[in-house]
Structure 1
Amino acid sequence: MKTDDLILMLAQGDVAVPRHVVAKRLGMALGIGLMASFGLMLAVLGLRPDLESASMLPMFWVKLAFALSMGLIGLIAVKKIARPDGTIKHTLWATAFPIGLIWLLSLILVAHAPSSQRWHMLFGETWYECPLLITMLSAPIFIALLWAMRSLAPTQLGLAGAAVGLMSGGWGAVVYSLHCPEMGAPFIGTWYLLGILIPTVIGALLGKTLLRW
């Protein structure tokens, strides 16, 4: 085939492109990453022993919903930025909604709590390890998503890395919530958020290197 014929064929769109290739690759990467993250959590941390009774409490589902919403926003961002013309400016702003809700709930609860309990509501018993453990559990998801993204066509590599980190951190927090005994909204809005932001920042800093074509 002559070069001119090839260019004409590409311009006319006659080359078959697999449908839903982005969603399929990201779905596979997320599935592999989640299984590895869950296995790592079971091996290193274990499920919280009172998980069944804790799941009856509203704050357990608030915690899970916060982490899940950040992971889903990250998923939407990754899917968009995986394309050459993708933009995620408005998608990243969507994180303000779950963050704002958990902070509003935190302010209400702190305002109505005795002053002697406010410190514990913020720091709990595990504040010093929570962000690092979320980051650890996000690592398998982060690696799997990087593998998927390198097979796609992101052009804004820093933003793509940040989106991968956000998605990884959110889903890592979902896995960590099955171990974490903390239930306070101020704790979740501070230390869970920090645990999600760490891989986001790492992804933004390393995206230009790790996602380079």
Structure 2
Amino acid sequence: MRTDDLIDALASDTGPTRAPPKRLATVGGLGALAALLLVLGWLHTRHDLMPAMRGGMFWMKALYTALLGLAGYLAVERLARPTGSGRRGWILGLSVLAVFVVAGLVQAMMSPDIQMALRMLRGGSWHVCSRNILVLGLPMLALGLWAVRGMAPTRPTLAGLATGLFAGGVAATVYGLHCPENTFTFVALWYSLGVLALAALGAIIGRWALRW
């Protein structure tokens, strides 16, 4: 059977046993739980969590990272199917990232001096933020790649990238329970790097792990 014929056959056999949404929702739930357990047992929640949850920036961070996770979900949900492109997810992810990066740049430029801008950029945890998000997302990335491998991806690198973006968005959202940073500038750089590191790792692993 030629490759094109095989793809056509898979495309016509995407019934309930191959439908990605339910599996990916399970991956997201278990990934969030794994990240939460790591926060509680390793990083611990921020000491001022309850007051912080009454502030707008706490939820702005959560919205940003959740939308990145949603973008990854939308992309991998399509890429897990034969000939899927994931276009909706990519558009959403790039749009959200661009908006937050612009917000971070504007906030930095509006600071009264360069020292204040650097403080907003570095915060108190710039050296561990991206790494922590990467670690929190590893369990979900592994689970996600395993789940997607059982579907029918025909673009393994892109499917791995989307899986990593999905995992990174979820992990970064949970990480907000620990992280006290509250500037657009910090989040736009260090949170984004953590999420994108998981996306890149997913693409690298997915290139061979999702091949069939």
TM-score normalised according to structure 1 size: 0.88
Indicate conservation of the 8 Å contact 2:76/2:162, yes or no: yes
Mapped pair 1:49 → 2:47: yes
Larger displacement relative to structure 2 (103-112 or 27-36):
103-112
Indicate conservation of the 8 Å contact 2:81/2:154, yes or no: yes
State the partner residue of 2:190.
191
Moved over 6 A (4+): 13-16
For 1:68-121, what per-residue CA distance to the aligned partner results, in whole angstroms no more than 9, with x for missing partners?
110000010110100011002453132222122212222332222221311100
Distance 1:104 1:208, change over 3 A: closer
For the pair shown, the structure with the greater C-alpha radius of gyration is: 1
CA distance in 1, matches of 2:200, 2:13: 38
CA distance in 2, matches of 1:16, 1:69: 27
State the partner residue of 1:126.
125
Distance 1:14 1:164, change over 3 A: closer
Distance 1:14 1:114, change over 3 A: closer
Counterpart amino acid of residue 130 in structure 1: C
Which residue of the other structure, out of 76, 97, 100, is the alignment partner of 2:74? 76
Larger displacement relative to structure 2 (65-74 or 88-97):
88-97
Indicate conservation of the 8 Å contact 2:74/2:88, yes or no: no
Counterpart amino acid of residue 156 in structure 1: R
Distance 1:79 1:119, change over 3 A: same
CA distance in 1, matches of 2:12, 2:108: 61
State the partner residue of 2:5.
none
Matches within 5 A, 1:96-135: 96-115=94-113, 116-135=115-134
* C-alpha displacement of 1:56: 1.4
Indicate conservation of the 8 Å contact 1:124/1:187, yes or no: yes
Identity %: 36
TM-score normalised according to structure 2 size: 0.89
State the partner residue of 1:88.
86
For 1:123-155, what per-residue CA distance to the aligned partner results, in whole angstroms no more than 9, with x for missing partners?
111001000000000111111111210110001
- Helix, strand or coil: the match of 1:181? coil
Distance 1:16 1:186, change over 3 A: closer
Distance 1:193 1:160, change over 3 A: same
State the partner residue of 2:33.
35
CA distance in 2, matches of 1:67, 1:15: 34
Larger displacement relative to structure 2 (13-22 or 50-59):
13-22
Query: What 5-or-longer segments of structure 1 have no aligned partner?
Result: 1-9
Counterpart amino acid of residue 170 in structure 1: G
Mapped pair 1:22 → 2:26: no
State the partner residue of 2:180.
181
